[in-house]
Amino acid sequence: MAVLISKDTLDTQKIISMVQDPLAGGTDIFIGTVRSETDYKKVTSLFFEAYAPMAEREMQKLINQASINWPIIKAVIHHRVGHLKVGDVAVVIAVSAAHRKAAFEACRYILDALKETVPIWKKEIFEDGQVWVSAHP
Amino acid sequence: MEIKLFGIAKDIVGKKVLKLDHSPANVELLKKYLIDEYPEFSNLNSLAIAVNHYYAEEEKTLSKYDEIAVIPPVSGG
pLDDT in tens, A14-26: 999 999 999 999 9
Domain ranges in chain A are: 3-126
pLDDT in tens, A27-56: 999 999 999 988 788 999 999 999 999 999
CATH fold group of domain B2-71? Ubiquitin-like (UB roll) (3.10.20)
Instruction: Write down the pLDDT at residue A1.
Output: 83
pLDDT in tens, B22-73: 889 999 999 999 999 999 999 999 999 999 999 999 999 999 899 999 999 9
CATH fold group of domain A3-126? Aldehyde Oxidoreductase; domain 3 (3.90.1170)
Instruction: Write down the pLDDT at residue B3.
Output: 98
What are the backbone dihedrals phi and psi of residue B72, each rounded to the nearest 5 degrees, phi first? -75, 175
**Cα–Cα distance list, A11 to A26, A35, A116, B3, B37 (Å):** 20, 19, 24, 34, 43
- The answer to whether A95 faces chain B, any CB pair under 8 Å, is no
From the candidates A56, A121, A131, which should be mutated to test the interface with B, based on the most B CB atoms within 10 A? A121
pLDDT in tens, A93-137: 999 999 999 999 999 999 999 999 999 999 999 999 999 999 998
> Strand A89-97 relative to strand A72-80: parallel, antiparallel, unpaired?
antiparallel
Q: What is the pTM of this model?
A: 0.96
Instruction: Write down the pLDDT at residue A40.
Output: 83
Taking an 8 Å cut-off on Cβ atoms, the answer to whether B53 and A115 are in contact is no
**Partners of residue A132 in chain B, C-beta under 8 Å:** 7-8, 11, 72, 75
Domain ranges in chain B are: 2-71
Instruction: Choose among B8, B11, B74: nearest Cβ to A118.
Output: B74
Instruction: Write down the pLDDT at residue B30.
Output: 98
Instruction: Write down the pLDDT at residue B28.
Output: 98
